[in-house]
C-alpha cells in the first residue's frame, strides 16, 4: 500500500507543479499580447518563452534563501533537552545534520522546518511540547524534516511558493495590463479567480509526500494520525500564529498552515479557511490510520478532499 501511495504522492506533486507552471505561463505570456488580443510574437514563441521562464523558476526557486529570510523574523528560544534529543534521533535516521533546534512561544501546537542554505532549523511551539506526546512530536518532526529532504515534496513546495508569489505579482501586472491589454488582463484574472477556488492541490501534494516519508522513517503511523487529530482541534487558533513576516511564504514550512480569518460563500454554503485546514488535517489523520490498519490510504488523497470540500458549510 505504501508503494502505491508513494506513486500517488509523486503524481500529485507533478500535477500541482503543472498547474503552478501553467498559471505562471499565462501571467508571463499575457505581457506579449496587445490590446486587441493580437500577439506581438507568434503564439508558438509566446508559449515557448512563457513555459520556459516558468519552468526555470520552478526548478531553480531557492528554498534555502527564502528560509534564510524567514529566520531573520523568528523570535526563538532555546529548546528543551527532550525535544533536542528527539530531533537529533530523526536527523540520525535520515542521515541529515541539524544545525539549530529551537522553540517558539505560542499556545498553538505546531512544528516549523526551515531548510536554510547552510543549515536546517527545526522549531516547535511551546504548545506542541505541552499538548503532544513524545511520539506525536516525533511523527510531526519527521513529516516536516523528512518531507523537506524529499525531492517530490520540495517540488510541491516550490509549486506552492510560486502560486503564493503569483498572487503578489498579479496586481503589479494589472497596472501595466489595464493600460492597453484588457484582453490579457481578463484572461489572467479569470484563471486566477477559478484556480483560487480549487482545492489546495499544491498543499495536498506536499503533505502527502511528507506523510509517506514520515511513516517510512518512524514506522509509526498511529502517532502521526493521533497528532493530526489533535492539531485539527487548533486549526482556527492557528490563524493567530505570528511566525515570520506577512510578505513571506511561511505555510509550506508549517504543519498547520496559517490562514486568514475570512469566509467563503458559494451557492449558499459558507466556510472559513480554517475549516479547510481542519478538513485537511483530519484527512491526513484518516490516511495515517489507514496505513496503520492495513486499509487503502489512497482513498484519503486529493479526490476525497475535493468531495468533502464540497460539503463544507452545508
Q: Note whether residue 56 is domain-resident.
A: yes
pLDDT above 90 as % of the chain: 13
| Strand 111-115, strand 263-266: pairing | unpaired
Residue 171 belongs to a domain: yes
Which single residue is written with the C-alpha cell 493600460?
179
Q: Is 108 in contact with 127 (CB distance < 8 Å)?
A: yes
Q: What is the pTM of this model?
A: 0.82
205-233 pLDDT, tens digit per residue, is: 888 888 888 888 888 899 999 999 999 99
Domain assignment present for residue 78? The answer is: no
Q: What confidence category does residue 202 fall into, taking pLDDT thresholds of 50, 70 and 90?
A: confident
Which domain, by its residues, includes 34? 2-61+152-196
Task: Round the average pLDDT of the chain to a whole number and report it.
Answer: 79
Q: Is 39 inside any structural domain? A: yes
Each residue's pLDDT tens digit, 106-152: 889 999 888 888 778 888 999 999 999 999 999 999 888 777 778 88
Among 126-135, 138-147, 185-194, 305-314, the range of highest mean pLDDT: 126-135
In this structure, of 86-90, 158-162, 234-238, 243-247, the range with the lowest mean pLDDT score is: 243-247
Residues for the chain: how many in total? 314
- What is the tally of structural domains in the chain? 1
Please indicate whether residue 237 or residue 314 has the higher confidence score (pLDDT): 237
Q: For the ranges 80-89, 116-125, 255-264, 266-275, which has the lowest average pLDDT?
A: 255-264
Residues 6+ apart with CB under 8 A from 283: 300, 304, 305, 308
Q: How confident is the model at residue 102 (pLDDT cuts 50, 70, 90)?
A: confident
pLDDT (0 to 100) of residue 177:
54
What pLDDT was estimated at residue 4?
A: 73
Distances (CA, A) of 241 to 3, 5, 90, 108, 169: 35, 31, 25, 8, 24
Residue carrying the nine cell digits 511566525: 243
Under the banding of pLDDT at 50, 70 and 90, the label for residue 200 is low
Among 231-240, 243-252, 258-267, the range with the most confident prediction by mean pLDDT is 231-240
Contact call for residues 79 and 88 (beta carbons, < 8 A): no
> CB 174: neighbour CB atoms within 10 A?
14
Q: Is residue 51 part of a domain?
A: yes
- Cell of residue 103, nine digits: 522553540
Of the ranges 54-58, 108-112, 307-311, the best mean pLDDT one: 108-112
Mean pLDDT value across residues 269-284: 88
Residue 187 confidence (pLDDT): 55
Residue 251, domain member (yes or no): no
Specify if 239 maps to a domain: no
Within 10 Å of residue 184's Cβ, how many Cβ atoms? Answer: 24
Task: State the pLDDT at residue 252.
Answer: 83
Q: Which of the four pLDDT bands, split at 50, 70 and 90, describes residue 246?
A: low
Question: Is residue 14 in some structural domain?
Answer: yes
* In the predicted structure, residue 266 carries a pLDDT above the cut 80: no
**Position 18 confidence tier, pLDDT thresholds 50, 70, 90:** confident
- pLDDT: is 189 or 152 the higher one? 152
pLDDT at 6: 80
Angle between helices 302-309 and 273-293 (to 10 degrees): 140
Cα end-to-end span (Å), the chain: 33
Is the pLDDT confidence value at 74 over 60?
A: yes
The pLDDT of residue 192: 58
Contact in structure between 123 and 109 (CB atoms under 8 Å)? no
* Average pLDDT, integer, range 95-116: 83
Amino acid at each position: 500500500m505504501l508503494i502505491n501511495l508513494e506513486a500517488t504522492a509523486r503524481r500529485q506533486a507533478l500535477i500541482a507543479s503543472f498547474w503552478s507552471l501553467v498559471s505562471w505561463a499565462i501571467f508571463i505570456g499575457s505581457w506579449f499580447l496587445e490590446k486587441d488580443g493580437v500577439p506581438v510574437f507568434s503564439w508558438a514563441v509566446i508559449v515557448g518563452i512563457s513555459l520556459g521562464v516558468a519552468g526555470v523558476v520552478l526548478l531553480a526557486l531557492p528554498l534555502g534563501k527564502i528560509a534564510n529570510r524567514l529566520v531573520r523574523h523568528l523570535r526563538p528560544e532555546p529548546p528543551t533537552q527532550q525535544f533536542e534529543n528527539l530531533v537529533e534521533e530523526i536527523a540520525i535516521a535520515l542521515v541529515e545534520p541539524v544545525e539549530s533546534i529551537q522553540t517558539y512561544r505560542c499556545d498553538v501546537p505546531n512544528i516549523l522546518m526551515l531548510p536554510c542554505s547552510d543549515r536546517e532549523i527545526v522549531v516547535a511551539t511551546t504548545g506542541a511540547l505541552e499538548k503532544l506526546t513524545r511520539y506525536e512530536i516525533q511523527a510531526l518532526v519527521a513529516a516536516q524534516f523528512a518531507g523537506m529532504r524529499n525531492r517530490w515534496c520540495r517540488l510541491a513546495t516550490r509549486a506552492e511558493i510560486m502560486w503564493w508569489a503569483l498572487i503578489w505579482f498579479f496586481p503589479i501586472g494589472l497596472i501595466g495590463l489595464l493600460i492597453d491589454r484588457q484582453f490579457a488582463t481578463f484572461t489572467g484574472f479569470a484563471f486566477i479567480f477559478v484556480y483560487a477556488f480549487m482545492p489546495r492541490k499544491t498543499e495536498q501534494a506536499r503533505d502527502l509526500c511528507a506523510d509517506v516519508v514520515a511513516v517510512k522513517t518512524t514506522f509509526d503511523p498511529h502517532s502521526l494520525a493521533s497528532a493530526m487529530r489533535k492539531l485539527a482541534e487548533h486549526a482556527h487558533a492557528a490563524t493567530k500564529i505570528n511566525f515570520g513576516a506577512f510578505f513571506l511564504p511561511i505555510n509550506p514550512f508549517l504543519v498547520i498552515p496559517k490562514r486568514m480569518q475570512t469566509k467563503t460563500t458559494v451557492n449558499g454554503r459558507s466556510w472559513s479557511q480554517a475549516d479547510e485546514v481542519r478538513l485537511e488535517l483530519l484527512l491526513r489523520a484518516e490516511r495515517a490510520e489507514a496505513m496503520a490498519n492495513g486499509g487503502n490510504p489512497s482513498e484519503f488523497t486529493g479526490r476525497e478532499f475535493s468531495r468533502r470540500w464540497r460539503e463544507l458549510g452545508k
